[in-house]
Structure 1
């Protein structure tokens, strides 16, 4: 699909013809840097530290504006196998949506290597048969993926400055 088709997809979603969702991966550490803030003169802002700073958590999020936010978590980063497992799960949900409402589901995401890997490409036809279609944004256009707004909100307002004792807290 062409970029102009994204506007058409958005309009089709507004009119209730398609389920339009945005997918992206983001990562968080168990510790957050201390953000800029105010403190009393002569004192410094302090936060209790956890024993280890390791343990990056990756989130593969699927956001449908004003409707839902679904996600999968892994320690480290997502690999093609796990991405396909998540997309298979989304395809089952898309099939149910297609049967119940007649609407296809369209997932907007970037051209990340795991999204366009040989193994992922082999699944596209299977996903389409279930009513799940993928729409790829042009390279270097992450700002067009509306889930980026949600990642910003999460990182700057929800978890900024927090320390997590375990990887699943």
Structure 2
């Protein structure tokens, strides 16, 4: 299971959860949804959205870079951390808390049970912290694979 999230401290947490990894296509689908929300925020408030992220190959691929200008026009700016400096990204502490407090020490029979535990853990953390939590779905062009690969 892989999770990709956008966290605004004390306000909101949006995430996508997939079986396997977040490849460039899944990353772009996720970020397109974030860009659409950013565009709404820009129109309503005049504020841009800044996403802090690492230099994952999915984040910096040619396919992703092709979308940067469009995202920027929608009010979404990307800020890349220096390589090997994940400790500078506050969302890493949230992933750590999820792993060590919400799902640690549990054994899962399958990916479905693990996915449910992750979603329940994030729900618990959001209730405790007072965030608005939203799971973004990543619809696949391959509908017969959607239930197997994307949750």
Q: Secondary structure at the match of 1:114?
A: helix
User: Are 2:64 and 1:120 equivalent residues in the alignment?
Assistant: yes
Larger Rg: 1
Q: Deviations over 1:106-126 (max 9, x none)?
A: 000001111111011110000
| C-alpha displacement of 1:164 | 3.0
Name the residue aligned to 2:141: none
| C-alpha displacement of 1:137 | 0.4
User: Are 2:22 and 1:78 equivalent residues in the alignment?
Assistant: yes
Structure 2 distance, partners of 1:152, 1:77, is 18
Unpaired stretches in structure 1, ≥5 consecutive residues: 1-56
Question: Pick from 67, 70, 80: which aligns with 2:11?
Answer: 67
Structure 1 distance, partners of 2:62, 2:33, is 19
Alignment of 1:1-169 (within 5 A): 57-168=1-112, 169=116
Q: Secondary structure at the match of 1:123?
A: helix
Q: Secondary structure at the match of 2:60?
A: coil
Q: Deviations over 1:34-76 (max 9, x none)?
A: xxxxxxxxxxxxxxxxxxxxxxx10011111111111001101
What is the root-mean-square deviation of aligned Cα atoms in Å? 1.0
Structure 2 distance, partners of 1:74, 1:120, is 18
- TM-score, length-normalised on structure 2? 0.72
Name the residue aligned to 1:37: none
